[in-house]
Amino acid sequence: MIIQIIHWTAFTYYVYLFGYASLFKVFKKQSMMDGMKDLGFNESWTLFIGYAELLGVVALIIGIFHHELKNAAVIWLFLFAVGALMVHFAHHDYQYYYSSLFGCIAAVVILYTDKHFTLIL
């Protein structure tokens, strides 16, 4: 029971984190566009990243009913979380790296607590 609560709490945070981040990019919110420009991304790359994240969020929501798709979406978005964390670190942008860090942690928690996910090495 507690593991399910942890799983779905992390999942909800993951959807929220990438949901607002992707929509801010796709709808060209000025603060997001300025922030991405400061990090070295032009408008085209910002939109590309936004649509890729939005695709992941849609897959997460559909994945509630299709576990394989949910796990693939978590891994897909994990790459963006790691990338965002590294970009914020590289630019000494420590004010905003917490969301990226929690996104990385949430991905691991989601996969670890998912009874339909197995990693075989």
Tokens of 74: 């978590």
b/e per residue, 85-121, with b = 16+ CB within 10 A?
bebbeeeeeeeebebbebbbebbebbbebbeeeeeee
pLDDT in tens, 28-47: 999 899 988 988 899 999 99
Confidence tier at 15 by pLDDT (50, 70, 90):
very high
Q: Are 114 and 106 in contact (CB under 8 A)?
A: no
pTM, to two decimals: 0.90
Tokens 């897959």 — which residue?
Answer: 59
Whether residue 105 is predicted with pLDDT greater than 80 in this model: the reply is yes
Eight-state DSSP code of residue 95: T
What sign results for the dihedral spanned by CA atoms 45, 23, 106, 111? negative
Confidence tier at 51 by pLDDT (50, 70, 90):
very high
pLDDT in tens, 55-98: 999 999 999 999 889 999 999 999 999 998 998 888 887 777 78
Q: Are 72 and 111 in contact (CB under 8 A)?
A: no
